């Protein structure tokens, strides 16, 4: 009988050893050569974007194939477009005024934790930013998505071989277990952790430096000055994208009393169905497991699938199931993160009350991540920007698309840092610059030599001189 745990641990050790050898050679190849490899991988994975999307959807059952294709293209084409001109190897900056030269130093071998919700896109994205910074990467896949993740790694390895560099630069554990993942995280040089709270916590507890992401619980506030139809359209576009599997998707809509009816009408017109009575009770019954965590059976599913699981009937064409919510906390499951076609609906008096509700929702789950606001009042937007405990505030844009850099100028990323307040080592959309250290060579600009010491005073000689001068005067 084969012990899978021991096999996984040994595989992690072997892959990291091989990656160290490959990385030591790769990082010496120079910026131009490394850039050529990165470009080739971006092109090869972009060409397989649809096939990988179909494979991910087939294996996990999550989301939509076409939306997963968009995510794969974001991770390949859009990420490459943003990193292709970055200086990441050797001397990256020289400051002649302050006489400082900055040299990029790769961190080494990265452990890439891959979730089942965004499997192939995460592999592509993490590979490109890791190699761009001169690193190697070893992936630990979510067991529910190991086939599609393995295929993405296989495409990348084939490209590395064609480029004439070691295929050990990118590898993947084939027997994923918790013990194997734990070992990988212990012996790597940096962890890029994307996954559930348990996995991210394990990454930060491993003793290895880690860049992790926390849960999202994005409130979407429709302030009274907003264009209601535009706001609802963007929220629906975002929340239904890949059936809500991106953690930056909206989890609650907050309207004001002055526009709540208009928002409701527009939600219904665009395929929102407000759950009431027994229907709401049945949906709540399938939302969570006994420990309060999200039920995997509803993750990444469309509204019709959730309705069937709950045993309720909903209108044809329903895109989103909505619950009028009155509270925040464990007793109110719609107030938490829901990576699926479910969303809460709140009504407040004004933006001051919206501020308080957003704070409560974020502290309930998702602090440090993202917040969405639809408003044409720059002063309100500024107040939210100054005071909300998040790393991203997305204004008048679909939250999902805005946070990952599809509809905003943010760096295209599938690792969205939540800052210290969210338990993350960074608040950035992670880029290659997060995966290298900088060595600084500094020349002297100010002399530190001590001033010449004062000559000792001969008191007796000074006294004799004073006496002699007095005698002359007399």
The single residue of 27, 82, 247, 358 carrying the catalytic annotation is: 247
112: helix, strand or coil: strand
Taking the C-alpha atoms of residue 68 and residue 90, their distance in angstroms, rounded to an integer, is 35
3-state secondary structure 275-336: CCHHHHHHHHHHHECCCCCECHHHCCCCHHHHHHHHCCCCCCCCCEEEEECCCCCCCCHHHC
State yes or no: is 172 an active-site residue.
Answer: no
- For 195, phi then psi, to 5°, come to 170, -160
Alpha helices in 27-145 (DSSP H): 31-47, 49-60, 65-73, 79-83, 119-132
210: helix, strand or coil: strand
Torsion of CA 260, 266, 270, 273, to 10 degrees: 40
In the DSSP assignment, the letter for residue 118 is: S
Q: Cβ neighbours of residue 82 under 8 Å, at least 6 residues apart?
A: 405, 411, 412, 431
Token reading at 189: 């040089």
Taking the C-alpha atoms of residue 267 and residue 235, their distance in angstroms, rounded to an integer, is 9
Query: What Rg do the C-alpha atoms of the chain give, in angstroms?
Result: 29
Token reading at 459: 């008191």
| Helix, strand, coil in percent for the chain, rounding step 5 | 50, 20, 35
Largest CA distance in the chain: 124
Residue with tokens 């005024």: 97
Torsion of CA 134, 369, 194, 288, to 10 degrees: 180
Taking the C-alpha atoms of residue 7 and residue 176, their distance in angstroms, rounded to an integer, is 9
Q: Could you list the active site residues?
A: 247
């Amino acid at each position: 009988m084969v012990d899978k745990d021991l096999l996984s641990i040994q595989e992690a050790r072997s892959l990291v050893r091989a990656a160290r050898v490959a990385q030591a050679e790769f990082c010496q190849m120079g910026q131009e050569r490394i850039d050529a490899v990165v470009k080739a991988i971006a092109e090869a994975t972009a060409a397989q974007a649809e096939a990988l999307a179909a494979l991910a959807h087939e294996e996990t059952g999550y989301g939509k194939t076409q939306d997963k294709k968009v995510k794969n293209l974001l991770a390949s084409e859009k990420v490459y477009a943003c990193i292709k001109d970055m200086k990441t190897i050797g001397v990256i900056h020289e400051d002649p005024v302050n006489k400082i030269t900055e040299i990029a130093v790769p961190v080494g071998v990265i452990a890439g934790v891959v979730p089942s919700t965004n499997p192939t896109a995460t592999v592509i994205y993490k590979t490109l930013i890791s190699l761009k910074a001169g690193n190697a990467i070893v992936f630990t896949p979510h067991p529910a998505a190991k086939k599609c993740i393995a295929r993405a790694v296989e495409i990348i390895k084939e490209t590395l071989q064609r480029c004439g560099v070691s295929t050990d630069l990118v590898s993947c554990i084939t027997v994923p277990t918790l013990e194997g993942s734990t070992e990988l995280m212990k012996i790597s040089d940096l962890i890029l952790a994307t996954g559930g709270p348990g996995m991210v916590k394990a990454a930060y507890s491993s003793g290895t430096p880690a860049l992790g992401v926390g849960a999202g619980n994005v409130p979407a506030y429709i302030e009274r000055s907003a264009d209601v139809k535009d706001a609802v359209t963007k929220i629906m576009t975002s929340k239904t994208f890949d059936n809500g599997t991106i953690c930056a998707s909206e989890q609650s809509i907050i309207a004001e009393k002055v526009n709540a009816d208009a928002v409701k009408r527009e939600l219904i017109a665009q395929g929102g169905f407000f759950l009431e009575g027994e229907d709401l009770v049945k949906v709540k019954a399938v939302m969570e497991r006994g420990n309060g965590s999200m039920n995997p059976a509803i993750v990444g599913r469309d509204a019709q699938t959730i309705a069937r699981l709950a045993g309720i009937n909903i209108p044809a064409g329903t895109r989103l199931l909505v619950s009028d919510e009155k509270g925040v906390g464990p007793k109110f499951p719609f107030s938490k993160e829901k990576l699926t076609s479910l969303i809460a609906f709140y009504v407040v008096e004004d933006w001051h009350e919206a501020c308080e509700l957003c704070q409560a929702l974020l502290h309930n789950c998702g602090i440090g991540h993202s917040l969405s606001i639809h408003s044409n009042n720059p002063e309100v937007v500024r107040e939210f920007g100054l005071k909300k405990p998040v790393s991203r505030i997305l204004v008048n844009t679909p939250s999902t698309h805005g946070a990952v850099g599809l509809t905003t100028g943010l760096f295209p990323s599938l690792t969205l840092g939540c800052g210290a307040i969210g338990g993350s080592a960074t608040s950035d959309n992670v880029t290659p610059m997060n995966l290298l250290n900088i060595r600084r060579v500094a020349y002297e600009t100010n002399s530190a030599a001590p001033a010449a010491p004062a000559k000792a005073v001969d008191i007796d000689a000074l006294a004799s001189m004073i006496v002699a001068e007095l005698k002359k005067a007399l």
